[in-house]
Amino acid sequence: MKDKVIIVGAGLVGSLLACYLGKRGLAIEVYEKRPDPRKGLRTQGRSINLALSNRGLRSLEEVGLGEKVREILIPMHGRMIHNEEGILDFQPYGRLGQYINSVSRANLNTMLLEKAEELGAKFIFEHSCTGINWQENVVTFDHQGKESRIGGALIVGTDGAFSSVRSELMKTDRFNYSQYYIEHGYKELTIPPNAEGGFMMEKNALHIWPRGNFMLIALPNPDASFTCTLFFPFEGPQSFAQLSSDEVVRKFFQNTFPDAWELIPDLVDQYNTNPTASLVTVRCYPWVKDRVVIMGDASHAIVPFYGQGMNSGFEDARVFNDLIDAHGTGWESILSKFQTIRKPDADAIAELAMKNFVEMRDQVADSRFILRKKIESELNQKFPEQWIPQYSMVTFHDEIRYSEALRLGKIQDAIMNEFLDQFSEKTWEEKDLEQIIAQYEIKKVSDH
Amino acid sequence: MKDKVIIVGAGLVGSLLACYLGKRGLAIEVYEKRPDPRKGLRTQGRSINLALSNRGLRSLEEVGLGEKVREILIPMHGRMIHNEEGILDFQPYGRLGQYINSVSRANLNTMLLEKAEELGAKFIFEHSCTGINWQENVVTFDHQGKESRIGGALIVGTDGAFSSVRSELMKTDRFNYSQYYIEHGYKELTIPPNAEGGFMMEKNALHIWPRGNFMLIALPNPDASFTCTLFFPFEGPQSFAQLSSDEVVRKFFQNTFPDAWELIPDLVDQYNTNPTASLVTVRCYPWVKDRVVIMGDASHAIVPFYGQGMNSGFEDARVFNDLIDAHGTGWESILSKFQTIRKPDADAIAELAMKNFVEMRDQVADSRFILRKKIESELNQKFPEQWIPQYSMVTFHDEIRYSEALRLGKIQDAIMNEFLDQFSEKTWEEKDLEQIIAQYEIKKVSDH
């Protein structure tokens, strides 16, 4: 079939895109190298749960999964900060009713797959992409040593941070590419439910143990467990390399995360069993060649510290769908528009995600940062249309582009730093806040 | 043989390294995917001639080729600037006796190959590297569909900007990598010798036609021809994309490079026949894994505008050899030292090479730039130990590291810009120069 759309990768973004295009009545085939996830084999080396926020939710609503997905979400209204003594401090993410959601990757993926199938998409598992013929617009796949060649009108690579479709683009001339690994790796650990099957910590929060250069976080799961993730340097004085014996691991957790330590009876076993994975940022351009395009992690893999990896991938699919709404399925023109519009936003969220690591592991425990959050929250209450904190723009305002949130956030930083240099807690007045807003309004325009 | 050194890539850097290691009596095998260059087949897509300067010459001297290579060099004492009217302006590169050299890539490569063979290295052609087994320290090669597995104590990848050895490193975890293509491509054209077999322009200069965003350059060849290279954007209002017919090509050269145009009777034919190639900067790290290391373009491909691509690769080999002098052939410790020492210099020359493009295509025609060169030349005459212009540090002072030349050059820029803002041509005095030197000496130290 000449008009067929071939999607390579049946993960979250690929399945969502299949829903969008399926709704349009297009013929869709989605090829995935892994087995059907409904067969229950958990894939190693990918996080168990994810933070879903407004950008992602908007896409899910658009493909008709709004209600259904809400049944499997656990709202997280703010950050629960755990200090070295196990003392807690709750920092709301935004205003009342603004929250992010913990969601199981596997459950969400299955929901999307089944919706896409319902909308007519065909899923073909255990097929690895091995090449692209640019002249013929054909993808070759390997299935248990047997090669097949599939041609279509449009080929979309949604095959993740280590994308095979992107590897084919790498072989072509003038493809700009970078992969950058941060010094930190991560390891997942599970806090089990209590004896009654309930949560052992506050359910509706994202828990953080900020420790300067590293941190532990925890997100709630539907079975009342928490998935903890230790983000920690690979090498150096405090690093995975130093945690070389059971005794050292035990001491480290006991001293560094005492309250978490108490909730994980088999911590050392988990530590030894679970893999230590690396964290990469991938940037590249162009995303498009002929009738082939890459989306999601395949074109812009980012570090997980803003909880926007999945959300930005979902937004890719939504923007692509909006372009078809506006311009029809003349693929070549759509593809070119897509990458031009979307690249600055992908770069922006990559930068924001790196920056948020420092905020999470260090600044959330800092008194100046906490004061700033308080002032910004007051500004946002009083001037909800004018002052939207950067975190809120990224997380709750899907009508604001990532690139715009990055730009405005830099202006906010400058204004807030100046203000904080002048005032200490509770010495500011109503008119100071008005001045801030006036200053912001001017800079918003003049900075362009 | 367990102690064998395997070099992948018999280009300039691989052959030089084979000389260095061959001199030490080590067993060397050099594998090359191309046929033996002595069989006379010219490889497409690589420049015909190169600029050899002090860093490169020093290495050639160390392996005993100093005298022999001088026989095939054409000294270039400065830049010959051609303006739009064909009027010439000669700008010396340094002091009397300081010059760079045009050399044929093919002749130099053959000379190095033969020297390495003389020193006991074995060359095996038409063998492409297809993989590395990290556990066993074995490289697999393909020769006409037949696979061979070669093990050794040390594996060196000197297989260029599109290195296969680097591709194997790319498959390992936590390998940082970037490839960045500039907007410009290049096309080579030949100015033939005159009827008497002589040079049609000044022989002992590097010719430049600076035209703002683009340029034409020419280097002399031993047969009295010149190889010209047009560096020109791929796309845009003035670009390769616009030169779409013979007539447009003809008009463009006639108007833009009138004196060059007159010297190339078959310009349009050459333009249509010769390929347009792209220009990439490759950065990566680590360069080392286990007993495998990459050198030269394989680890740091740079744009050609400082004439340091080959020179920096040769310096890699020299630094590696110095490390063996100092520490013996305990490869793992040598390799780790090599990449730690050499990476900042590779990054520095990559940055300098990009910066020099703007200088060559634009600034050389600028009066402020010309005045600065004049002042710097006077400074260098009067204070030869204290003020060495950045170009001279990079090109003539192989005892100064690239990273140091980059650092000092930035200080020189700041001092010169301040000075030029205050003085116009010929209004400065002896004591002003002394003040500059005093300021430089302070900043050299305080900047650290």
Distance between CA atoms of residues B325 and B330, nearest Å: 11
Q: What angle do CA A144, A145, A146 make, to 5 degrees?
A: 95
Verdict on whether the full-model pTM lies above 0.90? yes
pLDDT score of B395: 98
pLDDT score of A426: 64
Chain B residues within 8 A of A179 when measuring between CB atoms: 175-178
DSSP three-state, residue A416: helix
Chain B residues within 8 A of A281 when measuring between CB atoms: none
One-letter amino acid identity for B164?
Answer: S
CB atoms within 10 A of CB A220: 24
Q: What is the mean pLDDT of chain B?
A: 95
Cis peptide before B384 (omega within 30 of 0): no
- B20 and B325 Cβ atoms separated by less than 8 Å: no
- The answer, for A278 touching chain B at a CB cutoff of 8 Å, is yes
pLDDT tens for each residue of B11-39: 999 999 999 999 999 999 999 999 998 88
Q: Would the CB atoms of A234 and B174 count as touching at under 8 Å?
A: yes
**pLDDT of B428 over the 90 cut:** no
Taking CA–CA distances from A277, the nearest residue in chain B reads B173
pLDDT score of A295: 98
Distance between CA atoms of residues B54 and B393, nearest Å: 10
**pLDDT of B45 over the 60 cut:** no
pLDDT score of A425: 62
DSSP three-state, residue A383: coil
- The answer, for B162 touching chain A at a CB cutoff of 8 Å, is no
Sign of CA dihedral A294, A300, A306, A309: positive
Query: Which whole number is the average pLDDT over A363-376?
Result: 90
Note the Cα A261 to chain centre separation in Å: 27
Distance between CA atoms of residues A28 and A3, nearest Å: 9
Sign of CA dihedral B399, B403, B409, B415: negative
CB atoms within 10 A of CB B366: 12
Please report which confidence band the pLDDT of residue A448 belongs to, taking 50, 70 and 90 as the band edges. confident
Measure CB to CB from residue A181 to each of B176, B179, B234 and give the nearest one: B176
Nearest one of B372, B359, B369, B370 to B303, comparing CA atoms: B359
pLDDT tens for each residue of A168-219: 999 999 999 999 999 999 999 999 999 999 999 999 999 999 999 999 999 9
- A360 and A303 Cβ atoms separated by less than 8 Å: no
Query: Which whole number is the average pLDDT over B251-264?
Result: 97
- The answer, for B325 touching chain A at a CB cutoff of 8 Å, is no
**pLDDT of A41 over the 90 cut:** no
Q: Would the CB atoms of A176 and B176 count as touching at under 8 Å?
A: no
Distance from CA of A340 to the nearest CA of B (A): 16
Note the Cα A291 to chain centre separation in Å: 27
pLDDT score of A421: 86
- CA distances for B264 relative to B78, B88, B185, B244, angstroms: 23, 18, 21, 19
Query: Which whole number is the average pLDDT over B217-234?
Result: 97
**pLDDT of A429 over the 80 cut:** no
Structural element, H or E, at residue B89: strand B88-92
Describe chain B by its helix, strand, coil percentages, rounded to 5.
Answer: 45, 25, 35
Nearest one of A84, A56, A161 to A394, comparing CA atoms: A56
- A82 and A207 Cβ atoms separated by less than 8 Å: yes
Q: How buried is residue B313: exposed, middle or buried, by Cβ count under 10 Å (0-12/13-18/19+)? A: buried
Q: Would the CB atoms of A180 and B176 count as touching at under 8 Å?
A: yes
pLDDT tens for each residue of B271-329: 999 999 999 999 999 999 999 999 999 999 999 999 999 999 999 999 999 999 999 98
Please report which confidence band the pLDDT of residue B431 belongs to, taking 50, 70 and 90 as the band edges. confident
**pLDDT of A2 over the 80 cut:** no
Chain B residues within 8 A of A234 when measuring between CB atoms: 174
**pLDDT of B338 over the 90 cut:** yes
Nearest one of A354, A262, A271, A270 to A306, comparing CA atoms: A354
**pLDDT of B1 over the 60 cut:** no
- The answer, for B177 touching chain A at a CB cutoff of 8 Å, is yes
- The answer, for A177 touching chain B at a CB cutoff of 8 Å, is yes
**pLDDT of A75 over the 90 cut:** yes
Please report which confidence band the pLDDT of residue A49 belongs to, taking 50, 70 and 90 as the band edges. very high
**pLDDT of B2 over the 60 cut:** no
- A403 and A396 Cβ atoms separated by less than 8 Å: no
pLDDT score of A114: 98
**pLDDT of A365 over the 90 cut:** no
pLDDT score of A170: 95
Nearest one of B70, B158, B146, B148 to B116, comparing CA atoms: B158
Please report which confidence band the pLDDT of residue B47 belongs to, taking 50, 70 and 90 as the band edges. confident
DSSP three-state, residue A32: coil
Taking CA–CA distances from A178, the nearest residue in chain B reads B178
Q: Provide the token pair at A314.
A: 């979902």
Chain A residues within 8 A of B186 when measuring between CB atoms: none
- The answer, for A172 touching chain B at a CB cutoff of 8 Å, is no
pLDDT score of A127: 98
Please report which confidence band the pLDDT of residue B73 belongs to, taking 50, 70 and 90 as the band edges. very high
Query: Which whole number is the average pLDDT over A98-119?
Result: 97
Q: What angle do CA A138, A289, A13 make, to 5 degrees?
A: 80
Q: How buried is residue B57: exposed, middle or buried, by Cβ count under 10 Å (0-12/13-18/19+)? A: buried
pLDDT tens for each residue of B157-190: 999 999 999 999 999 999 999 999 999 999 999 9
- B100 and B76 Cβ atoms separated by less than 8 Å: yes
Taking CA–CA distances from B183, the nearest residue in chain A reads A174
- CA distances for B106 relative to A187, A381, B225, B314, angstroms: 52, 72, 16, 16
Distance from CA of A177 to the nearest CA of B (A): 5
pLDDT score of B447: 79
Note the Cα B11 to chain centre separation in Å: 14
CA dihedral B288, B290, B291, B293 (to 10 degrees): -10
- The answer, for B285 touching chain A at a CB cutoff of 8 Å, is no
One-letter amino acid identity for B119?
Answer: L
pLDDT score of B98: 95
Nearest one of A112, A118, A136 to A32, comparing CA atoms: A112
Residue percentage of chain A with pLDDT more than 70:
98
Distance between CA atoms of residues A299 and A296, nearest Å: 6
ipTM for the assembly: 0.91
pLDDT tens for each residue of A251-284: 999 999 999 999 999 999 999 999 999 999 999 9
DSSP three-state, residue B259: helix
**pLDDT of B396 over the 70 cut:** yes
pLDDT tens for each residue of B87-139: 999 999 999 899 999 999 999 999 999 999 999 999 999 999 999 999 999 99
Q: What is the mean pLDDT of chain A?
A: 95
Distance between CA atoms of residues A170 and A173, nearest Å: 8
Note the Cα B215 to chain centre separation in Å: 18
Q: What is the residue-wise DSSP string for A112-163?
A: HHHHHHHTT-EEE-S-EEEEEETTTTEEEEEETTEEEEEE-SEEEE---TT-
Structural element, H or E, at residue B279: strand B277-285
